[in-house]
Amino acid sequence: MEIHSVQFVKGVIGSEGLPKLALPVVAFFGRSNVGKSSVINSLVRQKEMARSSSSAGRTTEINYYLVNDGWYLVDLPGYGYANRPQAVRAKLEKHLSWYASTDEVHFLWVVLIVDAEIGAKDSDRRTFKLFREYGRNVIILANKADKGGRNDMMKSIEKLRKEFPNCPVIRYSAKTGEGRIELLQTLFAEEGK
């Protein structure tokens, strides 16, 4: 599976705004400072498709991108950003919870991005649990794998595999492209079977 075309469809705030064309969804979640936009941009090989910012928590809508005219890549707002007002954080959490539970979206995978060097935080575990409660397939994507020492990184990845034993854990670097092919192969392993 290779990505040939990507186009922005729309930013969604509520269920009434979901795209009319029902296609499989690969949704990307992660803490506000985990490099989610960089991961998405490296995956589709477009530098500024998903907007990244030096200030965390910029994405506030659920952004839909049509890929290869056959599936949606969905960029969700980052969670856990403490500098947002409490009311805004509560509204975003409610919106993300609705999205995780809705039957209006055909989830192929949910890609939960964690910092490979830091590992999973409580907010990551809560998000993981939320999606698993609704029967969603989850991939743990350990981003920033190019940082830190090799042995430390291997230990960190192994710890993630033990913590999330029933889902794929992929070592990834948005900077070097490490893990990109493995992620695409995992996302579309059922194709052609």
List, in order of start, the domains of the chain with CATH numbers: 6-187 (3.40.50.300)
CB 75 within 8 A of CB 28: yes
* pTM score: 0.88
The mean pLDDT of 158-179, rounded to a whole number, is 94
Q: What is the pLDDT of residue 94?
A: 81
Would strands 71-75 and 62-67 be described as parallel, antiparallel, or unpaired? antiparallel
- Please report the beta strands in the chain, taking only residues with DSSP state E, as ranges in sequence order: 6-12, 24-30, 62-67, 71-75, 106-115, 138-143, 169-171
Cross-strand pairs, 106? 24
Q: To 5 degrees, how large is the angle CA 148–CA 151–CA 157? A: 80
CA dihedral 78, 133, 142, 53 (to 10 degrees): -10
User: Tell me: the pLDDT tens digits for 59-83?
Assistant: 568 899 999 999 999 998 887 655 6
Q: What is the pLDDT of residue 162?
A: 95
* 16 pLDDT above the threshold of 50: yes
| Mean pLDDT for the chain overall | 85
* 192 pLDDT above the threshold of 80: no
